[in-house]
Amino acid sequence: MNYENRLPVENTTDFSFFRKNDTILPNHPYELASIPFNKHQALEAGFSISWQPGQKYIEFPWGKAPLGYLTQLLTWNTAKALIKLLEVMLILIKWKFTVFDDVNLKLRGLFNIV
């Protein structure tokens, strides 16, 4: 969970050590130059769950320890954000599903698949 009080950052100088004749661009994307970036607040909370089918463990008196893995790691991430922008409350939901695996190429190295 995190809370952000987002403030616009404006350029306060046009001085450059190396490029004397270049103009300094604003701190937001050029394509969005006509849309002002206003001060706003955001609250985001999320969770993640991972599952590895076929994972084996060894049990100790103090708990369990994984024995490496032979299968892919499946991960589901989701987050919900509340953003107060221009006196309007926006609710955003984002999610991501990833599959992670390593392929051992012996002497050539380790190849990660995401």
Its sign, for the CA torsion 24, 26, 32, 34, is negative
3-state secondary structure of 27: coil
Per-residue pLDDT of the chain (114 residues; tens, 9 = 90+): 999 998 888 777 777 777 777 777 777 777 877 877 788 889 999 999 998 888 888 999 999 988 876 778 899 999 999 988 777 888 999 999 999 888 888 888 888 888
Half-sphere exposure of residue 97: CA atoms within 13 angstroms, side-chain side: 1
**Residue 18: predicted pLDDT:** 78
**Residue 95: predicted pLDDT:** 95
Question: Rounded CA gap, 37 and 29, in Å?
Answer: 11
Contacts of residue 80, defined as CB under 8 A and 6 or more positions apart, other chains included, come to: 44, 45, 46, 91, 92, 93
Domain of 87 in residue numbering reads as 2-113
Question: Rounded CA gap, 63 and 57, in Å?
Answer: 10
Domain count for the chain, please give it.
Answer: 1
**Residue 59: predicted pLDDT:** 94
